A and B are shown apart, each in its own frame.
Chain A
Amino acid sequence: MANAAIGRSVPRKEGRSKVTGEIQYIDDLSFPEAIYGTVIRSPVARGKILGVHFEGDFPWDEFIKVTAEDIPGENRQALILNDQPCLAVDRINHREEPVLLIAHPNKHLLIEARKHVRIEVEEETPIYTIEDSDAKKEVIWGEDNILKKYRVEKGNVDDVWASAHKVIEGEYRTGAQEQLYIEPQGMVAKASPEDGVTVWGSLQCPYYIQGSLEVLFGIPADQCRVVYAATGGGFGGKEEYPTVIAGHTALLAWKSGKTVKMIYDRAEDMAVTTKRHPSLTRHKTAIDKDGKLLAMDVEFLLDGGAYATLTSVVLSRGTIHAVGPYLCPNVRVNARALATNLPPHGAFRGFGAPQSCFAIERHMNKVARAAGLTPEEFRNRNFLNKGQRTATGQLIEENVDMQGLLTTALEKSDYHAKKARFAKENVGQRIKKGIGFATFFHGAGFTGSGEKHLASTLGMEADRNGRIRVLAASTEIGQGANTVFSQVAADTLKISYDAIDIEKPDTEKVPNSGPTVASRTSMIVGNLVAVAAKQLLAKLREAQLLGDEYTPDQFNSACDQYIEKHGELKVISEYSQPPGINWDEENYQGDAYGTYAWAAYVAEVEVDTLTYVTEVKDFVAVQEIGKVLHPIMAAGQIEGGVAQGVGFAVYEKVVWRDGVMINNQMTNYIMPTASDVPEIRVFFEEEPYAYGAAGAKGIGELPLDGSAPAVINAVEDAMKIDIDFIPMLPEDLFELIESAANNGQGEE
């Protein structure tokens, strides 16, 4: 048999086309006949539309114009709720809300002209903060501004407070974060009542888009075709938002009868597309005199922006991760997502967990201090172990060793020696060094019964030369989906990695293997690849064309003979839920995820007390992620996630003014560069997961959860100051130190 591909760092399937520049992203595809489309957006955050005026000296009758009246089906973005229109009709609920669409063959003229469409609005008072929304200063959504709420209850926290050794409270905030994929969003569409709608684009989830086009145009699914173009990064930012652009582009195409291209420039992309939900978390925790957790009461609040988008699901994940990988007999989590008049927030790698993880990992340091224990000793006394139950009552049946992971991480980073040394050496120095860590977990795949409802399917087809084609809607966005699918297919079929091709996602050609989200692609869809490969082998064996043992050549000729006789060799695999998973959606109890990845991250920082700049100098990431399918790609995923987490902590700040991001440029929204990132050292432990592809668990989102709190815990160590928010930029640290000095806190 061929060399096993799993566990080996085979070359990335589409790697060659990426280093030569041959691979085509949406803006690279040639549509010579295309005209250009753009969106005219609301100039205010909240109000009533009074009129639209086409001003200035432009040949307005040459422009294609689309308003809500031109929508053939329903004017809504079909997602979870139906609250978001495709084009605003009477009401404006956020800045940059789409009101009408225009298109013209001359791109430059279009860009000039769009500035001269004036939307006349009667302004109303907007609200921009979680607190104002929670207090119902204005009711802007539903009856109470609450987009979604959850409650998790285990034991009874209220019985504990009075008798507890200590009760510790804290309040923590995280800011919005821009996904900042380097390829801006874009779509091309053709559409007509006769031929239906076809869109090509930069996207994560082809079938989400198909579903929404059906509603928007009122035509059957098979007339809505969605084709993936190579996608230059997503990180959640291309999960739901491409649906909006696809709808707009297709409406212009439908009305004009022409091919329409709409590529956002960076400024538009940053100002209008979704970002990570800002959060506010309040913790109240009781411990006994041995430093054991007795009760955890958490209020977890998200700013959802003006419409519901995927907020309920983001809130759900944040809620379930809110008390971290700790054992506590009494837990209450009250979670609410609140509407504001900001552009809707949405999916971003980690999906709510990075927000609640920042809060719990900062809070655990605070509680440790109150308990008179080191952060590591406190955690060691409280880690969740095999045989114990999470906040939702899920029994942990996998081999979990959080203590072991933490010990490894502390050793690899030389934590103890450094901590002692920094404490001594920092005295009197301008540069203060610090080291800190976070311990955390991340549920892999969809929450609760999500995977069951998705019921993903995947196809696999052989040709007469024994070449295999995998048919999946899962998109390659840099994470290595093509490569992992090929590895799993090759090893299951016992043929060469090079004999596998991945069909380009296209709703006309591939079945729905579900969205490319939630760290599910390798684990869940990869497993569908394995199942399909087994079905394919079974067909060949039933036809008596293949024995138990065979060479790749014998496999090839078996395929040939099978196809000769039957015309084709094709199978479809379907998701089936692992046994014993029970989830009670109503009460938020039960098995929230099929499995979890577990991790301990250590960050080392230097803080300049003159400039207040924080630099992350070293980073150790230790995690247990099931079987590592591709060591180099897995490490690359973690490293990329850590860099984004470092950005979330100390670089990336969305500055809002009057309801819109005003630093919507790469020059003033700063992500880490090659000179900013620390050395990131990645270590894996493997506990194969029986129901993941070849034992894999999901890893894509994990690194976003723990990186930011590890960095801020290190800053706390360096500066001896409590920091309860991110992003923490130099100006924020300056302010904090000033106010702490006034209150007598801080370094003695």
Chain B
Amino acid sequence: MVSVAKVNFDCTINGEKKTISAYPMARLLDVIREDCELTGTKEGCGEGECGACTIMIDGELVNSCLVPALQADGAEIKTIEGVATGEQLHVVQESFVVNNGAQCGICTPGMIMAALKLLEEHPDPSPDDIRHGLAGNLCRCTGYMKIFESVLAACQSMKQEV
């Protein structure tokens, strides 16, 4: 077996500066889960299909199972653990609890990341915007209806807050 050396690089994860030491081709997903011990990001397929591993890099949604660790060099990363503010849930999280947008919960972290991006791009999403924005995140439990309702209700409360 050829041995490749680990490399060190800096990045920000959920607002915290970190120095990561990883094999260059390691999956960012594994670095986040194993090295950073942020296990809220899940692996459902490992091939970019299910969205359970969705995180944000510099504000863009990515499937972390497809991203080589080195791509995080200098980047700002946000995972589900960085969505709430202390004990205070984000409106979208709160809405998923109230509207039963999470059943088994395994798709939920990725789904919430996708919902955040969706609401950022479409503060007043149409049903089609929602379907489209969440189409990269598979959920086997809910049939998506309660997820759509969670997003819509979150959007309503966000409007009221403004």
Output the nearest chain B residue to A24 by Cβ-Cβ distance: B39
**Is A68 interfacial (CB 8 A cutoff)?**
no
Interface of A is mostly: loop
B137 A674 Cβ-Cβ under 8 A = yes
**Is A18 interfacial (CB 8 A cutoff)?**
yes
B102 A15 Cβ-Cβ under 8 A = yes
A20 B80 Cβ-Cβ under 8 A = yes
Contact A642-B104, Cβ < 8 Å, known A21-B80, A266-B46: no
A232 B50 Cβ-Cβ under 8 A = no
Contact A19-B104, Cβ < 8 Å, known A643-B143, A673-B135: no
| Docked CA distance A15–B150 (Å) | 13
By a CB distance below 8 angstroms, the chain A residues around B22 are none
A675 B131 Cβ-Cβ under 8 A = yes
Output the nearest chain A residue to B37 by Cβ-Cβ distance: A30
| Docked CA distance A639–B106 (Å) | 17
Contact A235-B140, Cβ < 8 Å, known A109-B1, A182-B52, A666-B49: yes
| Docked CA distance A23–B106 (Å) | 9
By a CB distance below 8 angstroms, the chain B residues around A346 are none
**Is B36 interfacial (CB 8 A cutoff)?**
no
Instruction: Find residues 72-96 in chain B having any chain A CB closer than 8 Å to their own CB.
Output: 79-81, 83-84, 89, 93-94, 96
Contact A266-B144, Cβ < 8 Å, known A21-B40, A21-B80, A674-B130: no
B105 A478 Cβ-Cβ under 8 A = yes
**Is A431 interfacial (CB 8 A cutoff)?**
no
Contact A480-B103, Cβ < 8 Å, known A21-B109, A639-B145: yes
Instruction: Find residues 110-158 in chain B having any chain A CB closer than 8 Å to their own CB.
Output: 112, 130-132, 134-148
Stretch in A94-102, A328-336, A413-421, A629-637 with 4+ CB within 8 Å of B? A629-637
**Is A233 interfacial (CB 8 A cutoff)?**
yes
B145 A20 Cβ-Cβ under 8 A = no
| Docked CA distance A187–B148 (Å) | 33
**Is B7 interfacial (CB 8 A cutoff)?**
no
Instruction: Find residues 31-63 in chain B having any chain A CB closer than 8 Å to their own CB.
Output: 33, 37-47, 49-50, 52
By a CB distance below 8 angstroms, the chain B residues around A19 are 89, 93-94, 96-97, 101-102, 105, 108, 112
Instruction: Find residues 4-35 in chain A having any chain B CB closer than 8 Å to their own CB.
Output: 9, 11-12, 14-25, 27-28, 30
Partner of B49, one of A22, A235, A642, A665: A665
A639 B143 Cβ-Cβ under 8 A = yes
By a CB distance below 8 angstroms, the chain A residues around B138 are 182, 666, 671, 673
**Is A360 interfacial (CB 8 A cutoff)?**
no
B97 A182 Cβ-Cβ under 8 A = no
**Is A184 interfacial (CB 8 A cutoff)?**
yes
By a CB distance below 8 angstroms, the chain B residues around A231 are 104
| Docked CA distance A633–B145 (Å) | 11
Partner of B104, one of A9, A233, A672, A675: A233
Size category of the A interface is 35 or more
Q: Give the distance to chain B from A731, nearest Cβ to Cβ, in Å.
A: 21
| Docked CA distance A614–B144 (Å) | 19
A674 B134 Cβ-Cβ under 8 A = yes
Contact A20-B100, Cβ < 8 Å, known A232-B42, A233-B141, A640-B142: no
By a CB distance below 8 angstroms, the chain B residues around A179 are 140
Contact A12-B42, Cβ < 8 Å, known A18-B108, A21-B81: no
| Docked CA distance A231–B105 (Å) | 9
Partner of A640, one of B41, B103, B130: B103
Q: Interface residue count for B (Cβ, 8 Å)?
A: 57
B140 A181 Cβ-Cβ under 8 A = yes
- Binary contact readout A634-662 vs B (1 if CB under 8 angstroms, 0 otherwise): 01101111111000000000000000000
| Docked CA distance A633–B132 (Å) | 24
Q: Give the distance to chain A from B146, nearest Cβ to Cβ, in Å.
A: 5
Partner of B103, one of A24, A28, A479: A479
B143 A641 Cβ-Cβ under 8 A = yes
A20 B135 Cβ-Cβ under 8 A = no
| Docked CA distance A644–B141 (Å) | 9
A12 B100 Cβ-Cβ under 8 A = yes
| Docked CA distance A28–B32 (Å) | 12
A182 B143 Cβ-Cβ under 8 A = no
A183 B147 Cβ-Cβ under 8 A = no
B146 A635 Cβ-Cβ under 8 A = yes
**Is A230 interfacial (CB 8 A cutoff)?**
yes
**Is A287 interfacial (CB 8 A cutoff)?**
no
**Is A209 interfacial (CB 8 A cutoff)?**
no
| Docked CA distance A667–B132 (Å) | 18
B50 A182 Cβ-Cβ under 8 A = yes
Partner of A16, one of B40, B43, B89: B89
Task: A15-B96, A640-B143 are known; give 6 further A-B pairs, CB within 8 A.
Answer: A19-B108, A112-B1, A231-B104, A233-B106, A479-B103, A639-B146
Q: What would be 20 A-B contacts, judged by CB atoms less than 8 Å apart? A: A15-B96, A15-B100, A18-B96, A182-B44, A233-B106, A233-B140, A266-B44, A477-B104, A635-B146, A636-B141, A639-B145, A643-B142, A644-B140, A644-B143, A666-B49, A672-B143, A674-B131, A674-B139, A675-B135, A680-B145
